[in-house]
Structures are given as C-alpha cells and as structure tokens.
Amino acid sequence: MTQPILQFGTSRFLQAHVDLFVSQALDRGATGKALGGITVVQTTGNPASAERLTALAAGEGYPVRIRGLRNGKRVEQDLVCRAVKQAWHADASWPALREAMESGVRVIVSNTADRGYQLDNTDGPALVNETAHAPRGFPAKLLVLLHQRWQTVPAADLSIFPCELIERNGDVLRGIVCGLAAQWKLDPTFIAWLGEHCVWANSLVDRIVSQALHPVGAVAEPYALWAIERHPRLMLPCVHEDILLTDDLQRYERLKLFLLNAGHTLLAERWLAGGRAPDETVQQAMNDGGLRVELESFWADEVLPVFDALGQHGEARAYLVDLRERLLNPFLDHRISDIAQNHAQKKQRRFAPIVALAAELQCGVAQLRLRAALASGA
C-alpha cells in the first residue's frame, strides 16, 4: 500500500520531529488531520543508516524520549512513534519508488544533511527512462521521480518540504532540480510543471535532538518548531501544535540562525581552539563561568543590536529566555564535537549573514568576535 508521505532520510532529527508530529496526529484520529503514514527512503550506504532502516521496516514503532525543561519545569516523556509504515533503500526499491509516485504520494519530505543538494556527475538524462537503477545524487533522484509523476498523474497536487537548514530551502531545491532538468534537456512543459504545479515549501525546523537510540529512536528536547511559509496550494503532512504557518518565515529563521545556531558555533569555535574537554557538552559549556559570560556578551553586543534595528527588540529577548533554558537542559548529551563538524562552512552560513545585515542596517557595532571567527577560516 502506498503511503501519502515519502521521506528521504532516516536521521534521528526526522524521527523526533516530522515523523513524531505525524504519529501524534495519527494517534488523535480524525481530529489529528494527518494525511497518513510515511515511507522512509535511505539514500546512502551508511551501515548505521542501514541498521535503522531494518528496524524501521519491522513496523513496530520506535521510542522518542523527550527530556528537558519547559517554563522551569522538568519534562520527561517516553513516546512511541508509529508513523513510519514502510522503509526502503533507494537502490534496492527504485522500481517500487517510481510506482509509488503514480499512486498516492502527496507530500515529499527531505533531510539530506549538508551535502545532500550536491549533484553527482555520473547522473544523466538516460536515468529518466531507467526503471531499475536509481540516480546517485538526491536532486537527480527527486527529478526522476517527479518526471514519473508528471507522465502519469500530472494533475495530482504535490507538496515538497525540504528540512535542510538552508535559507529558503524550498526555493533552493526547486532551482537545483529545475536547473538539472534544463541541463538534461527535458521537455519544457515538464520543467514548467516543476516550477508552477509542485509546491516547494520554504520552512524552518527547530528542535535539538541530541542522541540516537539503538537501533532506531531518539532523545530530544521538549521544544519543537516547524515554521512553514504559507502558500495557497500547500498540503501539510499533518496538523500539529508545533507547526506554524507564517507569511514572514525570515523572522523565525533569523531568530534561530542568529541566536541558537550562531551561539552553538561560537561555543564550537572556542572548543576547537583547544584546552577544553574533548567530550564537553553544551550544558557543561553553559555552566562554565567564563564561557557563559563570553556567550552572553556575544549575544548582547554583536547580535541583539541587529534585532533592535529590525524592530524585534522584545521578540529576540523572549527567544533568548527560552533558548537559555534549552541550552541548560541537564538531560541532553549534546556534544560540542558534533556541533563542530563542518565548522568552516557553518561559520559562513551562521556568522556572515549577521555581519552583512548589521552593515546594511548601519547598526554601528564592531562585532569583533564574529569578524575574528570569519577571518580565521577553519
């Protein structure tokens, strides 16, 4: 049976965010307003991912442990996520995936990590008619599946939700897929259909999922947000209290990027400089007097003036109140070594926009830490 939600990625984040939202909506029955179950697709040969896929394919559900603080109170919940009904590997199940695109998929979700949007030069236009073998790159996989949809049921609505932490991720992914279609010299009518018929949702996901459980499952904080830019033809996978439809997505993106993500990256910058415990966690760093003072000064001196210039004085400070509680979560083993992966790229994505916006708004702040970190390269 074809599930209405097709998901690329098996990450612990998706397990405790999108998948859990759908499961909770399904548990509520008619009032939950979920489209239905999820088919998860693994696209890599990672052994850990393969083990997760096997466990997901068993269809028995998996644990999600919610641990943390909310409004000063301890939260400890043990949940079971039952939204995943099928689990396939793209290489082994490519014919089934192509068939699923003809018969009921209404929403596509992805979370393909930092390099997920990169093209593979071995992929080419012949793959559009190749039913047995999957393309190597995710954009090519998506392109071929959408071409299958266009050929068979072009009038059926389809919403695509990239969850990668890229600004305006829907627009970016649409541009890559449409560009690849043009490069392959596919039918112009199909390329127009990609851009005009499919809804490529820009969205922001926010939840700290600090630990994977073996073989499948996750430990996550109580806070969760999926902010999605409103679109008249948008089809949500479910209705959930932590899904927010907005006409101003950038407002939420900046709060997360400039305060949470930039704060994490500052901690990683200091951790990489040496002299700190190799297994240091965010919570331990927050309880280090000197480092906490520096982080607070970073927010106050280099970031909050940007929000003041944007007219978001109170909103940014309210976000920081919640953020401190999240970062001080005593239950989550959120290692700074994990945050420090791909550090140079993260600095460019998280620090450079703050500096650029401060200059554009003429905030008059020196932003010495930000500039020094960007100048240091890796």
SS3 letters across the chain: CCCCEEEECCCHHHHHCHHHHHHHHHHCHHHHCCCCCEEEEECCCCHHHHHHHHHHHCCCCEEEEEEEEECCEEEEEEEEECCEEEEEECCCCHHHHHHHCCCCCCEEEECCCCCCCCCCCCCCHHHHHCCCCCCCCHHHHHHHHHHHHHHHCCCCCCEEEECCCCCCHHHHHHHHHHHHHHHCCCCHHHHHHHHHCCEECCEEEECCEEEECCCCCEEECCCCEEEEECCCCCCCCCCCCCEEEECCHHHHHHHHHHHHHHHHHHHHHHHHCCCCCCCCEHHHHHCCHHHHHHHHHHHHHHHHHHHHHCCCHHHHHHHHHHHHHHHCCCCCCCEHHHHCCCHHHHHHHHCHHHHHHHHHHCCCCCCHHHHHHHHCCC
At 114 the pLDDT is 66
| Environment class of 135 (CB within 10 Å of its CB; exposed 0-12, middle 13-18, buried 19+) | buried
Is the pLDDT reported for residue 160 higher than 70?
yes
Residue, of 162 and 31, whose pLDDT is higher: 162
The phi and psi torsions of 79 (rounded to 5 degrees) equal -110, 160
Report residue 106's pLDDT band, with 50, 70 and 90 as the boundaries: very high
At 30 the pLDDT is 67
| Environment class of 257 (CB within 10 Å of its CB; exposed 0-12, middle 13-18, buried 19+) | buried
Is the pLDDT reported for residue 378 higher than 80?
no
pTM of structure: 0.93
**pLDDT exceeding 90 applies to what percent of the chain?**
90
| Number of neighbours of residue 333 by Cβ within 10 angstroms | 15
Is the pLDDT reported for residue 164 higher than 90?
yes
Separation between Cα atoms, residue 70 and residue 353, nearest integer Å: 30
Which one is the CATH code of 250-375: 3.40.80.10, 1.20.1440.230, 3.40.470.10, 1.10.1040.10?
1.10.1040.10
Task: Provide CB contacts within 8 A for 355, sequence distance 6+.
Answer: 367, 370, 371, 374
Q: How far apart are the first and last CA of the chain?
A: 48
Domain ranges of the chain: 5-247, 250-375
Q: What is the pLDDT of residues 298-331, one digit of tens each?
A: 999 999 999 999 999 999 999 999 999 999 999 9
Of the candidates 190, 215, 289, 177, the residue with the CA atom closest to the CA atom of residue 53: 215
Q: What is the pLDDT of residues 20-42, one digit of tens each?
A: 999 999 999 866 689 999 999 99
At 200 the pLDDT is 98
Bridge partners of 227, per DSSP, are 204, 244
Q: What is the pLDDT of residues 230-273, one digit of tens each?
A: 999 999 999 999 999 999 999 999 999 999 999 999 999 999 99
Of the candidates 358, 357, 353, 255, the residue with the CA atom closest to the CA atom of residue 312: 255
Go through the chain and tell me how many residues it has: 378
Separation between Cα atoms, residue 365 and residue 164, nearest integer Å: 31
Q: Do domains 5-247 and 250-375 have the same CATH topology?
A: no
Q: Read off the tokens for 103.
A: 């018969």
Mean pLDDT calculated for residue range 34-51: 91
Mean pLDDT calculated for residue range 66-84: 95
Separation between Cα atoms, residue 200 and residue 203, nearest integer Å: 9
Report residue 17's pLDDT band, with 50, 70 and 90 as the boundaries: very high
Report residue 275's pLDDT band, with 50, 70 and 90 as the boundaries: confident
CA distances from 80 to 64, 77, 152, 226, 241 (A): 6, 10, 36, 20, 18
Of the candidates 218, 208, 198, 207, the residue with the CA atom closest to the CA atom of residue 84: 218
Which one is the CATH code of 5-247: 1.10.10.10, 3.30.420.40, 3.40.50.720, 3.90.1150.10?
3.40.50.720
Q: Residue for token digits 């005009």?
A: 196
Is the pLDDT reported for residue 209 higher than 80?
yes
